[in-house]
């Protein structure tokens, strides 16, 4: 959520220009929601990959069998994407409701 808040704050002028030339609030909302989902999904993929590599290494180091369970990994990835949607919505909504004139004055 903090990353998305910073993204909205830093791009206030860009949002103001988009709204001033006719972008709908819904379009701005979707832009930031999609950005939040892609960011959290990439983070989820990296997290699952790092966990997979760490589990492989630790299982061979400890001499115990490694059992891959796709359901657990898909659940972890799903939670990551869901967190992106939930915590990306508030900054996206705030960006979509900006007044174009105030956004252009911002800096």
pLDDT tens, position by position, 14-65: 888 888 899 898 998 898 888 888 888 898 899 999 999 999 999 999 999 9
**What is the mean pLDDT of the segment spanning 64-71?**
90
- The answer to whether 44 and 81 are in contact (CB under 8 A) is yes
Please state the domain extents for the chain. 2-105
Tell me the pLDDT tens digit for each residue of 20-29: 899 898 998 8
Cβ contacts of 16 within 8 Å, gap of 6 or more: 98, 100, 101, 102, 103, 104, 106
């Amino acid at each position: 959520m903090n990353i998305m808040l910073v993204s909205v704050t830093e791009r206030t002028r860009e949002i103001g220009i988009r709204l001033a030339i006719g972008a709908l609030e819904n379009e701005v909302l979707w832009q930031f929601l999609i950005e939040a989902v892609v960011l959290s999904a990439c983070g989820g993929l990296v997290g699952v990959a790092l966990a997979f590599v760490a589990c492989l290494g630790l299982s061979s180091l400890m001499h115990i069998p490694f059992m891959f369970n796709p359901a657990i990994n898909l659940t972890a990835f799903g939670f990551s994407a869901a967190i992106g949607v939930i915590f990306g919505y508030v900054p996206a909504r705030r960006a979509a409701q900006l007044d174009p004139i105030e956004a252009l004055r911002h800096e």
